[in-house]
Amino acid sequence: DYDTRTVVKTILVGSGYTVEEASGGQEALDTLERYHPDLIVLDIMMPGMSGYDVVVHLKQKPATQNIPIIMLTAKSEPEDLITGYKDYAVDYYITKPFTTRQLIAGVQLILADDDPTTES
């Protein structure tokens, strides 16, 4: 949703990361045709196409299949986490509500980069 996207973008940009955003699953896939990120943050519940559906599309394409994915979602039951990790191979799972520290720690863990301004 818009509010979550705004919070995530504010946190990440404030921490030195570049952010490209999409309002739904299909828009995310369209954006990924022209933008190749180091990391994708997805929600499971999005308009038009679920985050899981987006992951399936991403894993089918060589250009996007290895981009790490953080699932940021309100779905917090143990089965939801297991599904995300086991069935969809997401790299990190954060449940809402979340803290700035949780998001940044997840991004840094996935990117193995303590300084977002460092080129690698």
- Domain range summary for the chain, segments of one domain joined by +: 2-111
Report the alpha-carbon distance of residue 15 to residue 28 in Å, rounded. Answer: 22
**Dist CA 115 CA 120 (whole Å):** 11
Q: Topology of domain 2-111, per CATH?
A: Rossmann fold (3.40.50)
Proportion of the chain above pLDDT 90, given as a percent: 67
Predicted TM-score (pTM) above 0.75:
yes
Give the pLDDT mean for 57-76.
92
The confidence band for 87, taking pLDDT boundaries of 50, 70 and 90, is: confident
